[in-house]
Structure 1
Amino acid sequence: MKTPGRWRLSTMMALLYAVQGAFWPLLGVHLLELGIDGRWRGLIFASQAVAATLLPLGAGQLVDRLMPTRTFLVVSYAVGTLILAALGSGWIVGPGPLLATFFLYFCVAMPSHSLASSLALRNLDAPRSEFAAVRLWGTVGWMAVGWGVSGLMLALGGGRARPGGMHEVFWLAAGLSAAMAAYCLVLPRTPPLAREDGGRTSLRKGLELLGERDVRVFLITTFGVFLTMPLAYQVIPGYLAARGMPREWVSTAVSINQVPEIAALAVMPWFLGRLGYKGTMAVGLGAWFLRYLVLAAHPPLWLAVGVGVLQGVGIACFSIGGQVFLDGRAPATHRASVQAVFLVVSTGLPSLLGSLAAGEWLRRTVPGDDPWVFLVPCILTGALLMYFTRGFRSSQVSTAERPAASRVDVDAGPPQRIHTMRGAAASVGDQVTETADG
């Protein structure tokens, strides 16, 4: 049975991912056309990771304890709209000012990703079977805006590289951000559930969760995998352009990655039911390994573009499957904080290190001529796949779902009963545990 009003959560995901999808795939090309060298480009990309490391845990505590999630999202995207408009104006062009501006933007925008996921998971009656269908619309939003960017650039005659960069994509992102800020006003009401807990209690509960073997193996694997993620957005667009891809089609070519992601998310309940968390995530890791292996072989342009579909499989099966897994393990009163932990371990510190490494690599090599830039992550991802399959022990996902009593309705008051754990396979006293993936 579908959660009533699920379309509102789906629209939220579509707008959230469309905002960043408007400019992120072309950011590397934009900075290159502004004359920003590889090291500064790496620092600018790394600013997202720094923000994702420093801000989400505090934001998660804020909405768990003091502020409704939708209020935080409204403020975040209203401020983000102003920053994106400043970037679109073309006044900010130097490496230092660009770094400061992007860092400020990501400080207000990055916490929204984990908080939006937490809000959706909290307001779904059956998150294990429904969350993938909601998150799917985030991928649709990212793809749709990628195609829209290509159409906009063609309409504006943006097919040739020019010193001014691609400021039009930031105006589009600013418009979408303003729409997101307004839309967040109609999201389900999610009042804080952890007002009675102190910071020490939150830390203790987080450490207890990290003490579980399967959670620990999953987070270590996530950290290693996301060391390689900056390649997807920092190196590959420039790689495709250097191999002959017209600049106005780069955004569309990169968005091809999301086609199988949509399909994988649509059948995610089937994946989890047949393969369990472990098998589903192993499929995602294997997809990333195969993609880097093919790119390291220096394939023709058509294959370099086509193999990008494996990126979407990896995101759907490993990253999003992992979010569902962590939500099932999280205490009901600290779900936003636990999703923030995932953001820090994925988009945070490892992406920071990976962005800096990718920037240095680009500074020392010619785009499109160095297959080693893909061979190193290929080896790392293969090693992580072996570690994950050997270290993660559970393989089944239960069919039990979170009781409706643990869900906070749109306009209702606090729930009568807060379950300590959700998505359970077996109950132990007041706690419910599930067999997990890694």
Structure 2
Amino acid sequence: MKTRGRWRLSVMMALLYAVQGVFWPLLGVHLGELGIDGRWRGLIFASQALAATLLPLGAGQLVDRLMPTQTFLVLAYGMGTLLLAALASGWIVGAVPLFLTFLLYFSIIMPTHSLSSSLAMRNLDDPRREFASVRLWGTVGWMAVGWLASIVMLTLGGGRLATAGGIPEVFWTAAALSLVMAVYCATLPNTPPLAGETSGRANLRKGVEVLREKDVRVFLITAFGVFLTIPLVYQVVPAYLAARGLPRPWISTAMSLGQAPEVVALAVMPWLLGRWGYKGTMTLGLAAWVLRYLVLATHPPLWLAVGVGVLQGVGIACFSIGGQVFLDGRAPTTHRASVQAIFLILSTGLPSFLGSLAVGEWVRRISLGDDVWVFLVPCILDGALLVYFVRGFRSQTPIAGRSGAAVDDDADRLQRLPARRGVVACVGNLVTESADG
């Protein structure tokens, strides 16, 4: 694909992750200032995971059969703009209305993460070689709006202290970005429906067959356990940093530090896998999470508590994204999207939902300034998962073929193998979240 075409897809990724990135790191602080208790905060955070569990497969079938992908993106972000504006206006107050609004918002928006990847893959000449350079702009977008949120809060909020009205300015910013995203998606390459040979249920059933491989099971079990602890990052850490003295306008910027290693890792992923293999790369990611929670459990100085945020990016990039590449290499060509859907459900979906509820309940019962266990428990859990993964996972290099073909080296496979244009090929979703968390 021509460079100009890749840039169009890169801008799409940057805007997509920027919309959520501008308010998600501050959501816990916002809800706390609105007087929402820990249990309901957990439920509101869990609404994203619930939507990620239930909706992506259905939206994928809609796009596969009835609607061009770019049209779905336009409609989703248009409706998302209205919901974000309603949240910013202060019309929606109270735990139950907020939960229902966020559940509706994420039900509309979460499918766009995998569908944007599908759109990009279908419009790239060589997705295996070009997709990482497109996807990394999603992480850049998430990082950039962290700084934008700080500037907006300092400009419009004057750096004010906590108020009963929460932080409406970040939701107005998110609504503006969502509107830009909706308009921009109308200019994307036309990506019409492709008639599927089998139903979504049949494709998912065939994708489950990959679970017969031991290494796939070990990875998915490890991912399930790790993503139980990820909600801690955005439900607890922002309030933790605020309690340690970090000014409110700088919380979003501090949280964005974790995305810097993601950008680097995505840029060098072929080299990283070729040098260390799957096992080494994912082990590094797991170790980064363990170290971050261990440092936070010691109640370090504020500068160190902020600085160890970069380890979150190392964990997401090396374990989550590296794991998606591993799954992509294990799945049959015709069922890669189904396998990635399973990963989405077992990472961003079910464990994140359960983890959000657990963390919300925990926040009701403990004081962040006093209880070392709020970080020590996830440290111990991730440490146990690290040992389990190192002992049980054996794969070092990807498989060149899709049906048990010969083993090839990582860099060659990632850069050399062609992909059939017109096939929906999804390399999953980063909750980031980004940036995923």
TM-score (norm 2): 0.89
Partner of 1:430: none
- After the TM superposition, which residues 101-140 of structure 1 pair with which residues of structure 2 at under 5 Å, given as runs? 101-140=101-140
- Give the match for residue 6 of structure 2: 6
Aligned residue for 1:369, secondary structure, equals coil
What does residue 81 of structure 2 align with? 81
Equivalent-residue separation in structure 2 for 1:368 and 1:2 (angstroms): 53
Aligned counterparts of 1:371 and 1:25: Cα–Cα separation in 2: 22
Whether the aligned pair in 2 keeps the contact of 1:125 and 1:403 (CA below 8 Å) is: no
Show CA shifts across 1:69-127 (max 9, x none): 22222221111111111101111111111011011001001111122223333443444
Quote the Cα distance in structure 2 between the aligned partners of 1:46 and 1:212. Answer: 30
CA RMSD, 1 decimal: 2.3
Answer yes or no: is 1:235 the counterpart of 2:232: no
Alpha-carbon offset, residue 2 of structure 1: 7.8
Task: Letter of the 1:354 partner, please give it.
Answer: G
Q: Are residues 1:287 and 2:276 paired?
A: no
Aligned equivalent of 1:37: 37
1:207-356 paired onto structure 2 within 5 Å: 207-356=208-357
AA at the equivalent of 1:378: C
CA contact (8 A) 2:337 2:424 kept: no
| Paired residue type of 1:160 | L
Q: Is the 8 A contact 2:336 2:425 kept in 1?
A: no
After TM superposition, the structure 1 stretch with the greater mean CA deviation from structure 2, 198-207 or 309-318, is 198-207
Q: Give unpaired runs (5+ residues) of structure 2.
A: 399-408, 428-437
1:24 shift after superposition:
0.4
Letter in 2 for 1:130: E
2: CA distance, partners of 1:127 / 1:142: 22
C-alpha change, 1:405 and 1:287, in structure 2 (3 Å) is closer
Asked if structure 1 preserves the Cα contact closer than 8 Å seen for 2:337 and 2:426, the reply is no
1:404 shift after superposition: 4.4
Q: Which residue of 1 aligns with 2:178?
A: 177
Stretch of structure 1 that moved more, 306-315 or 155-164: 155-164
After superposing the two structures, state which structure 1 stretch, 229-238 or 385-394, moved more.
385-394
Q: State the alpha-carbon separation in 2 of the partners of residues 286 and 61 from structure 1.
A: 37
2:189 maps to what in 1?
188
Match of 1:387, SS state, is helix
Q: 2:23 — aligned with what?
A: 23
Pair 1:145–1:285, CA change in 2 (3 A): same
Deviations 1:242-288 (A, max 9, x none): 11111111111111111222222222121011112222111111111
Partner residue, 1:167: 168
CA contact (8 A) 2:204 2:339 kept: no
The question of whether the paired residues in 2 share the 8 Å contact of 1:61 and 1:336 is answered with: no
Q: Write out aligned runs for 1:54-65 (5 A).
A: 54-65=54-65
Contact 2:265 2:318 in 1 (8 A): yes
Q: Secondary structure at the match of 2:397?
A: coil
Matches within 5 A, 1:387-398: 387-397=388-398, 398=409
For residues 72 and 214 of structure 1, what CA distance do their matches in structure 2 show?
A: 36
- CA distance in 2 between counterparts of 1:334 and 1:52 reads 19
- Post-superposition Cα deviations, 1:349-386, rounded to whole Å, max 9, x if no partner, equal 10111111111111111223212111111111111112
d(CA) in 2 for partners of 1:339, 1:181: 26
Partners of 1:266 and 1:326 lie apart in 2 by 19
Please tell me the residue identity of whatever aligns with 2:104: L
1-structure distance, mates of 2:90, 2:425: 50
Q: 1:71 to 1:100 in 2, by over 3 A?
A: same
- Residues 326 and 7 of structure 1: CA distance in aligned 2, closer, same or farther (over 3 Å): farther
Query: How far did 1:419 drift?
Result: 11
The change in CA–CA distance for 1:119 and 1:333 in structure 2 (over 3 A counts) is farther
Q: Does residue 421 of structure 2 align to residue 407 of structure 1?
A: yes
Q: What is the SS of the residue equivalent to 2:167?
A: coil
CA distance in 1, matches of 2:225, 2:62: 28
Q: Is the 8 A contact 2:38 2:360 kept in 1?
A: yes
Write the distance in 2 (CA, Å) between the matches of 1:12 and 1:420.
17
Q: Which residue of 2 aligns with 1:358?
A: 359
CA distance in structure 2 between the partners assigned to 1:420 and 1:363 by the alignment: 42
Give secondary structure in 2 for the equivalent of 1:205. Answer: helix
Q: Equivalences for 1:371-386 in 2 at 5 Å?
A: 371-386=372-387
Contact 2:282 2:323 in 1 (8 A): yes
Residue 106 of structure 2: SS of its match in structure 1? Answer: helix
Say whether the 8 Å CA contact 1:121–1:327 is kept in structure 2.
no
Provide the rounded CA distance (Å) in 1 between the counterparts of 2:59 and 2:153.
36
1:421 deviates by 12
1:182 shift after superposition: 1.6
Q: Which moved more, 1:397-406 or 1:161-170?
A: 397-406
List per-residue Cα deviations over 1:183-239 (Å, max 9, x = no partner).
Answer: 222333333445221244313322222333332222211111100000110000000
Question: Per the alignment, in what secondary structure is the counterpart of residue 367 of structure 1?
Answer: coil
Distance 1:101 1:198 in 2: 31
Match of 1:71, SS state, is helix
Count of aligned pairs between the two proteins = 413
Structure 1 distance, partners of 2:73, 2:327, is 22
- The aligned amino acid for 2:57 is L
